[in-house]
Amino acid sequence: MDRRKRQQTIEEMEKGRMDEERKIKVERLLARTKSHGSLIGLPAGTGGTRKPSKSELLKDESEQKGTRRRKKQSEASKKRRRSSRKSPSSGLLPSMPAVLIVGHSIPYWASRYAARSGWGTHLGLESSCRVIWSGHRGLRWHEVLRVVSDEVYRHGAPDFLLLHAGENDLPAMSGRCLGLNIKADLPVLHQRLPRTKLLWSDMLDRLSWRSAERPERVNWAKQKVNKVARKVVLGLGGDVIVHPDISFRLPPLFRRDGVHLSDWGCDLWLFDIRAGLCDNLFPEGWRERGSVAPVQWRMSAGKEPVWQGVPSAYGTPV
């Protein structure tokens, strides 16, 4: 292609008298002149200094418009996703602290009891945090990491991760072995969720430990495991929630199977959980202000708990 033919081709392109296929071939050939002008009969170095044609300018302008349009659409879709994360039922904002409670049948049944009682799903803290329940019946300790990963993928990383697990591993596993597993897995959770504060809920007593010949020895081993877990969690900057009022010496707190908590036991467990959350959400001392009344009870002649104080309407601390 000589200079005259090349100039004629460019003029035809500008006038729009060429078909699309030929335009593509010519554009590819002209593009090669930027670095190899001599291949088409032009002096070397002269091909890259040509003035862009009108069609090329229009093409660049259309590409820029398309880029701006796609950017606007992407921003609009992000806004829609952020607005969709707002819960229409409770009005919870995604910026509120999130509490993820992971455990076995104790959190499982407690969450259902809370939903149908005066506690509520968020334990009366709707204006302060959002509580996400993840109770799985029969959960073993080696499944905790997987469950937490699934919940983080579904809801995002929480601000507080409350764990209540381990009882189902006893007595099939020795207390020493379970303590070593917990000691190894808790730092892994802290490493995966560096901005999440770990909360350890103490393992509970039981009236009956399945396949255990001496339940009192299992209760003793459980206390040893709790000591190991407390030390690890506190060393990682977390906190511990204890349940001093739930004891195997008080049978009305348990169901007939001697494993799961009754409604009275769930009340005590939920109160301890709510108090622990308030300690971390309101570190300025909500207890001194009397926002939540302490729970005290005594055993009557009929072996049923008599409540002397209950949470004040399960309300939110002021």
Which tens digit of pLDDT belongs to each residue from 41-76? 444 444 444 566 666 666 666 777 777 777 777 777
- The model's pLDDT over 209-238, given as tens digits with 9 standing for 90+, comes to 877 778 778 888 899 999 999 999 999 999
17 within a domain of the structure (yes/no): yes
8 within a domain of the structure (yes/no): yes
Share of the chain above pLDDT 70, in %: 67
Instruction: Give the domain range for residue 304.
Output: 98-314
Single out the residue in 47, 63, 84 at which a domain terminates: 47
Residue 90, pLDDT score: 41
- 116 and 24 assigned to the same domain: no
Q: Is the pLDDT of residue 257 over 70?
A: yes
| Residue pointed to by tokens 């504060």 | 197
- 156 and 261 assigned to the same domain: yes
77 within a domain of the structure (yes/no): no
Q: Is the pLDDT of residue 7 over 80?
A: no
Residue 21, pLDDT score: 62
Residue 265, pLDDT score: 93
Domain count, the chain: 2
Q: Is the pLDDT of residue 311 over 60?
A: no
Residue 134, pLDDT score: 94
Residue 133, pLDDT score: 95
Indicate the pLDDT class of residue 289, thresholds 50, 70 and 90.
Answer: very low
Residue 255, pLDDT score: 92
**In this predicted structure, which of 1-10, 13-22, 174-183, 296-305 has the lowest mean pLDDT?**
296-305
Residue 307, pLDDT score: 39
Residue 20, pLDDT score: 65
- 126 and 203 assigned to the same domain: yes
This model's pTM is above 0.85 = no
Indicate the pLDDT class of residue 203, thresholds 50, 70 and 90.
Answer: very high
Residue 294, pLDDT score: 39
- 107 and 249 assigned to the same domain: yes
85 within a domain of the structure (yes/no): no
Residue 201, pLDDT score: 95
- 31 and 127 assigned to the same domain: no
Single out the residue in 47, 67, 83 at which a domain terminates: 47
pLDDT, the chain, mean: 77
Indicate the pLDDT class of residue 286, thresholds 50, 70 and 90.
Answer: low
53 within a domain of the structure (yes/no): no
- 43 and 107 assigned to the same domain: no
Residue 93, pLDDT score: 44
- The model's pLDDT over 9-45, given as tens digits with 9 standing for 90+, comes to 777 666 665 566 666 766 777 666 554 444 444 444 4
- 102 and 43 assigned to the same domain: no
- 2 and 114 assigned to the same domain: no
232 within a domain of the structure (yes/no): yes
Q: What mean pLDDT comes out for the span 191-213?
A: 89
Residue 51, pLDDT score: 60
- 17 and 107 assigned to the same domain: no
Residue 80, pLDDT score: 64
207 within a domain of the structure (yes/no): yes
Q: Is the pLDDT of residue 99 over 90?
A: yes
12 within a domain of the structure (yes/no): yes
- 155 and 242 assigned to the same domain: yes
Share of the chain above pLDDT 90, in %: 42
What distance, in Å, lies between the first and last C-alpha atoms of the chain? Answer: 86
The CATH number of the domain holding residue 103 is 3.40.50.1110
Residue 44, pLDDT score: 44
- 22 and 150 assigned to the same domain: no
Q: What mean pLDDT comes out for the span 177-194?
A: 94
Residue 107, pLDDT score: 95
Q: Is the pLDDT of residue 77 over 90?
A: no
- 229 and 306 assigned to the same domain: yes
Residue 43, pLDDT score: 46
